[in-house]
């Protein structure tokens, strides 16, 4: 079957993307779903900050590729190994494929699935490449590839949701909500009354802010380099906001919290943000990062301070979530008004305007733009 998709052939094209057009709308062919694969009609796919890190070459991937990993749609057809989904079911896609068989999967940490991460690096599904153009392979992006009318994905990359939730809202749960809310609830285990700082207020950072609220944090300090993001965070429940460019940012957070926060979240994907998140964390506190900087990026830490202050540093991938367990919980909290993720939607775009959408994202003034298909 042939369908329309935004294809990237070359990494590192410069901004403005509206001119260099790294993503081109082309026709792509998909093989019928085999084994535990499912063909999905994509209805909504949002622009996330980890897409531009592939466009600009920070996260090198085989080319050509179809990007897009925060998405939702309807099941069209299931492979012979899938018996718990049927045509018409609504599904949210998850960017960490899980095989269900490896030690990490069996221990309840599907985000750490080794075959899944190897497939993501190689641009394949767990079972190979299913996309092509004139017989040549087109690679999969994190097992999803949703900037397209159709996607073929592994069953382990899908969570079935009820058909009442609008699909543009549902899409956000696949990356931003799982990653941000999960970082607060699963990775950090923020406790009632905790003091929290969130560095980087994109879709993931603002969801960490929501997660900290759900957990009952008493103080949530928002940090970002953009004042409009700080204003948005205050509207969404941050108790205080400090501009990360402020030379006194660390001192201000320490003054606001009598010595630092219990949990510092790095949600911007940069070494500067990581240093800031670590420095605002109190003695005995925990610094959590969900950022994905360039693989060459190194972070220097004063070793003695880690020891003498009994600090903890934790990485968080997919919010340490078990997606089929956590996503229905987070959707339920959304419906009760406790995770107002719809407030993160900045605009809706057609697939043809995807390059302009990435320019908007780079400006730092949008949270979630959603391609509707
Ligand atoms: Zn994402
Ligand atoms: Zn696995």
The percent of residues above 90 in pLDDT, for the chain, comes to: 92
Q: Hey, what are 254's tokens?
A: 């320490």
Q: What pLDDT is attached to residue 250?
A: 98
Q: How far is CA 155 from the centre of its chain?
A: 19
Tell me the ligand closest to 202's alpha carbon.
Answer: 1
Beta-carbon contacts of 220 under 8 Å, excluding residues fewer than 6 positions away, are 196, 197, 198, 209, 212, 213, 237, 238, 239, 240
Q: Are 213 and 185 in contact (CB under 8 A)?
A: no
Distance CA 267, CA 73 (A): 27
User: Which residues have a beta carbon within 5 Å of ligand 1, which is an ion?
Assistant: 48, 50, 175
Tell me the ligand closest to 101's alpha carbon.
Answer: 2
Q: How far is the CA of 111 from the centre of ligand 2 (A)?
A: 8
Q: How far is the CA of 226 from the centre of ligand 1 (A)?
A: 20
Distance CA 91, CA 69 (A): 13
Q: How far is the CA of 302 from the centre of ligand 1 (A)?
A: 31
Q: Tell me the pLDDT tens digit for each residue of 173-230.
A: 999 999 999 999 999 999 999 999 999 999 999 999 999 999 999 999 999 999 999 9
Q: Tell me the pLDDT tens digit for each residue of 18-45.
A: 999 999 999 999 999 999 999 999 999 9
Q: Tell me the pLDDT tens digit for each residue of 127-175.
A: 899 999 999 999 999 999 999 999 999 999 999 999 999 999 999 999 9
Confidence of residue 371 (pLDDT cuts 50, 70, 90): very high
Tell me the ligand closest to 172's alpha carbon.
Answer: 1
Q: Tell me the pLDDT tens digit for each residue of 48-106.
A: 988 988 998 888 899 999 999 999 999 999 999 999 999 999 999 999 999 999 999 99
Query: 20, exposed or middle or buried, with CB in 10 Å at 0-12, 13-18, 19+?
Result: middle
Q: Hey, what are 252's tokens?
A: 């201000």
Q: Tell me the pLDDT tens digit for each residue of 115-129.
A: 999 999 999 999 899
Q: Are 54 and 61 in contact (CB under 8 A)?
A: yes
Helix axes of 249-256 and 271-279: crossing angle, nearest 10 degrees: 30
Tell me the ligand closest to 116's alpha carbon.
Answer: 2
Tell me the ligand closest to 67's alpha carbon.
Answer: 1
* Phi, psi values for residue 211, rounded to 5°: -60, -40
Q: How far is the CA of 102 from the centre of ligand 2 (A)?
A: 4
Q: What pLDDT is attached to residue 152?
A: 97
Q: How far is the CA of 179 from the centre of ligand 1 (A)?
A: 8
Q: How far is the CA of 172 from the centre of ligand 1 (A)?
A: 9
Q: How far is the CA of 57 from the centre of ligand 1 (A)?
A: 16
Q: What pLDDT is attached to residue 82?
A: 97
Tell me the ligand closest to 126's alpha carbon.
Answer: 2
Q: Hey, what are 297's tokens?
A: 């990026």
Tell me the ligand closest to 156's alpha carbon.
Answer: 2
Distance CA 151, CA 66 (A): 10
Reported as half-sphere exposure (CB side, CA atoms, 13 A), residue 357 has a value of 28
Q: How far is the CA of 83 from the centre of ligand 1 (A)?
A: 28
For the whole prediction, is pTM greater than 0.85? Answer: yes
Strands, sheet with 261-266, edge to edge from the N-terminal-most edge strand: 240-243, 219-224, 195-199, 261-266, 281-289, 312-315
**What DSSP state is assigned to residue 125?**
B
Q: Are 321 and 108 in contact (CB under 8 A)?
A: no
Per-chain mean pLDDT for the chain? 96
CA dihedral 117, 123, 126, 127 (to 10 degrees): -160
Q: What pLDDT is attached to residue 244?
A: 98
Tell me the ligand closest to 119's alpha carbon.
Answer: 2
Tell me the ligand closest to 114's alpha carbon.
Answer: 2
Tell me the ligand closest to 70's alpha carbon.
Answer: 1
Q: What pLDDT is attached to residue 364?
A: 84
Q: Which of 190, 163, 214 is nearest to 341 (CA)?
A: 214
Helix axes of 227-235 and 203-214: crossing angle, nearest 10 degrees: 30
Domains observed in the chain: 2-174+340-372 (3.90.180.10), 177-318 (3.40.50.720)
Q: How far is the CA of 74 from the centre of ligand 2 (A)?
A: 25
Q: How far is the CA of 333 from the centre of ligand 2 (A)?
A: 28
Q: What pLDDT is attached to residue 294?
A: 87
């Amino acid at each position: 079957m042939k369908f329309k998709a935004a294809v990237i052939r070359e990494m590192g094209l410069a901004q403005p993307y509206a001119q260099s057009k790294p993503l081109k709308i082309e026709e792509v062919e998909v093989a019928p779903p085999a084994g535990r694969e499912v063909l999905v009609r994509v209805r909504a796919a949002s622009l996330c900050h980890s897409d531009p890190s592939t466009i600009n070459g920070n996260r090198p991937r085989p080319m050509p590729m179809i990007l897009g990993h925060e998405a939702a749609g309807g099941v069209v057809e299931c492979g012979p190994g899938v018996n718990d989904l049927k045509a018409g079911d609504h599904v949210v896609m998850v960017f960490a494929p899980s095989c269900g068989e490896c030690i990490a999967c069996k221990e309840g940490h599907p985000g750490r699935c080794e075959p899944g991460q190897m497939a993501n690096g190689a641009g394949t599904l767990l079972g190979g490449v299913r996309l092509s153009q004139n017989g040549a392979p087109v690679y999969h992006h994190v097992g999803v590839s949703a900037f397209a009318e159709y996607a073929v994905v592994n069953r382990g990359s899908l969570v079935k949701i009820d058909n009442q939730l609008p699909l543009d809202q549902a899409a956000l749960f696949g990356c931003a909500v799982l990653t941000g809310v999960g970082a607060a609830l699963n990775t950090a285990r923020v406790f009632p009354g905790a003091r929290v700082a969130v560095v980087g207020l994109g879709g993931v950072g603002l969801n960490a802010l929501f997660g900290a609220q759900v957990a009952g944090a008493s103080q949530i300090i928002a940090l970002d380099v953009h004042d409009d993001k700080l204003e948005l965070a205050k509207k969404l429940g941050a108790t205080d906001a400090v501009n990360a460019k402020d030379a006194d940012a660390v001192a201000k957070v320490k003054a606001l919290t009598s010595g630092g926060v219990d949990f510092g979240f790095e949600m911007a994907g940069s070494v500067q943000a990581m240093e800031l998140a670590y420095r605002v964390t109190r003695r005995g506190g925990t610094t959590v990062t969900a950022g994905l900087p360039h693989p060459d990026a190194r972070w220097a830490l004063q070793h003695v301070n880690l020891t003498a202050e009994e600090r903890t540093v934790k990485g968080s991938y997919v919010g340490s979530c078990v997606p089929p367990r956590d996503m229905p919980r987070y959707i339920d909290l959304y419906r009760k008004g406790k995770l107002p993720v719809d407030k993160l939607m900045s605009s809706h775009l057609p697939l043809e305007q995807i390059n302009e959408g990435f320019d908007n994202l780079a400006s730092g003034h949008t949270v979630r733009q959603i391609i509707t298909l």
